[in-house]
Structure 1
Amino acid sequence: MLKSFRLALSFLTILPVYKKMASSEELARSVSYYPLVGLLLGLAAAGINVFLQQLGLKLSADVLSLVAMMILTGGLHLDGLMDTADGLLSGKNREGQLEIMKDSRVGAMGVLTLGIVLLLKTAFLSEINLDLKVEALIIMPVAGRWAMVYAITRYPYARPGGGLGNCLKQAGLFQLLVASLTLLVICVGLAGLHGLAIIIVILLAALGIIRTIYKRLGGMTGDTYGATGELIETWSLFVILLGQQIGLL
């Protein structure tokens, strides 16, 4: 368990806690702990936010907490978001979209999508009350990484050849169950019964996003896993903000 968690932490962040060459089976087992990695990222971001709020910072505290999360992940998922946007919004057929996503260069659609997502995250987080902000910063990365697990375990890989994302396809129902239980415990622990409502809305959004990508590409890739995580993070902040505004949270 600890070995798999360290591998997940090393894979999803810049923290060098697992330095050995991992097999496909080991990578697949580590998928179970993606939401737990999200929990650590959320705790770090929330801690930074609370500390800076104590110093009198407001918007700057929100921005810096999001930046800290980006730094800790090495921008891995944001890179996938940009590549996915370049491919899906290119107007080309399936093969053309996959080819564009393989290109390391970033196009206009990728930059535009990145800017929109970062602006939305900042705007949503800044509108959330201070007493809810810690919950939001923790739930956001947990939900995003759960969505990645769902995409990995329930949808086929889009590329016929190998690839790092393809190594994760050995993950299955057990990994999804562990990840789902982690999401459930964290959301309910932080938001009580309202956490169940948050999970349901997140699940519906994840199904819509992943299904849309699947229809366009015939499967998922490493880039679309990252894109899914980023979009669900953004959606989670919006859901919590909406819950606050209508008096449920």
Structure 2
Amino acid sequence: MRALILMIQFMTRYPVPIAVDFTADHFVRGMKWMPLVGLLVAVPAAAGMMLADGLLGRDMAALIAVILLIGITGGLHLDGLADTADGLFSYRSRERMLEIMRDSTLGVNGVIAVVLAILVKYALLRAIAPAGATPAVLVAPVLGRMALVWHAATARYAREERGIGDFVNQTGRTQAALATLSSLVLVGGILVLWGIPFSTVPWLTLVFHLPPIALAVGFAAYARKRLGGITGDTIGASIELSELLSFFIALLVWKYWLA
């Protein structure tokens, strides 16, 4: 339970007034809870969207959902996406890219990445069929946090230092498997709750899970090639990219499968 509390404190802006030691052991044990943290991020955004959809229309509802997803995390993962874009798209040496990613100054590539991520997320959410919009908001953050565990499990930390590198290097396939199992249960439950036929749920759950896992693992391989490993920034970027992919999958599912 203390590992779950630490994950909530680190990954969200929920005020949990319980002191938990910030250790690699707690982090590694908390990896299996990442999908649940994603659900805690998703619920207020989904509730806000449902309320706004009836009062203000779909455009405002989609915008409010995106704003809430950002606000509940404090923009933490968008910051990682921005720093990753600044570093990787600088096309400098490995050492220089890592320096750029650590620099708190936001560059042009970072700004472009953040703006595009927000716009694409809004556009996808706006385009999803009404029946699928709310479950998509619930599912995407769960899948994004599950994907980050795969990203961390399949590559070592790029920098030779303590801190976040300790938990990254101790995260392995066991944590990824447990996080995936947790995500399968949560996503399957959301789909059943939203009235998806029970016979369809297992297949649909696989459709939602396999692409984010492939993206997270592939992105880790790319980071190993370019940076020598992953960083906290690429972990944040993997969440944002996986959420975008999940919204796109939801668009296709409710347009062509569940229409």
- What TM-score, normalized to structure 2? 0.90
Cα distance in 1 for residues equivalent to 2:78 and 2:254: 27
Counterpart of 1:140 in structure 2 is 140
What SS does structure 2 have at the residue aligned with 1:246? helix
Cα distance in 2 for residues equivalent to 1:165 and 1:75: 22
1:231 aligns with 2:230: no
What SS does structure 2 have at the residue aligned with 1:175? helix
Contact 2:144–2:243 (Cα < 8 Å) also in 1:
yes
- Report deviation, 1:209: 2.3
Contact 1:31–1:168 (Cα < 8 Å) also in 2:
no
- 1:16 partner letter: P
Counterpart of 1:10 in structure 2 is 9
Contact 2:150–2:213 (Cα < 8 Å) also in 1:
no
1:57 aligns with 2:57: yes
Contact 2:129–2:255 (Cα < 8 Å) also in 1:
no
Counterpart of 1:85 in structure 2 is 85
- Report deviation, 1:75: 0.7
- Report deviation, 1:216: 1.0
Contact 1:146–1:179 (Cα < 8 Å) also in 2:
yes
Counterpart of 2:253 in structure 1 is 243
Cα distance in 2 for residues equivalent to 1:229 and 1:142: 10
What SS does structure 2 have at the residue aligned with 1:223? helix
- 1:214 partner letter: R
1:38 aligns with 2:43: no
- Report deviation, 1:56: 3.5
Cα distance in 1 for residues equivalent to 2:94 and 2:253: 38
**Residues 52-131 of structure 1: pairs in structure 2 closer than 5 A:** 52-131=52-131
**Residues 193-232 of structure 1: pairs in structure 2 closer than 5 A:** 193-232=203-242
Contact 1:156–1:220 (Cα < 8 Å) also in 2:
yes
Cα distance in 2 for residues equivalent to 1:174 and 1:91: 34
Q: Percent identity?
A: 36
Cα distance in 1 for residues equivalent to 2:100 and 2:92: 9
What SS does structure 1 have at the residue aligned with 2:19? coil
Cα distance in 2 for residues equivalent to 1:168 and 1:6: 19
- 1:184 partner letter: L
Number of residue pairs matched by the alignment: 248
Contact 1:158–1:221 (Cα < 8 Å) also in 2:
yes
Contact 2:156–2:168 (Cα < 8 Å) also in 1:
no
Cα distance in 2 for residues equivalent to 1:248 and 1:215: 39
- What TM-score, normalized to structure 1? 0.94
- Report deviation, 1:39: 1.0
1:133-176 per-position Cα deviation (integer Å, ceiling 9, x unaligned)? 12110111111111111111221000011233543432333322
- 1:53 partner letter: D
1:47 aligns with 2:57: no
Contact 2:224–2:230 (Cα < 8 Å) also in 1:
yes
- 1:203 partner letter: I
Alpha carbons of structure 1 residues 200 and 20: separation in structure 2 relative to 1, 3 Å: closer
Question: Unaligned 5+ residue runs, structure 1?
Answer: none
Cα distance in 2 for residues equivalent to 1:91 and 1:22: 34
Cα distance in 2 for residues equivalent to 1:94 and 1:163: 20
Alpha carbons of structure 1 residues 28 and 115: separation in structure 2 relative to 1, 3 Å: same
Cα distance in 2 for residues equivalent to 1:218 and 1:164: 16
Contact 1:76–1:226 (Cα < 8 Å) also in 2:
yes
Cα distance in 1 for residues equivalent to 2:60 and 2:142: 23
Question: Unaligned 5+ residue runs, structure 2?
Answer: 192-200
Contact 1:187–1:196 (Cα < 8 Å) also in 2:
no
- Report deviation, 1:226: 0.1
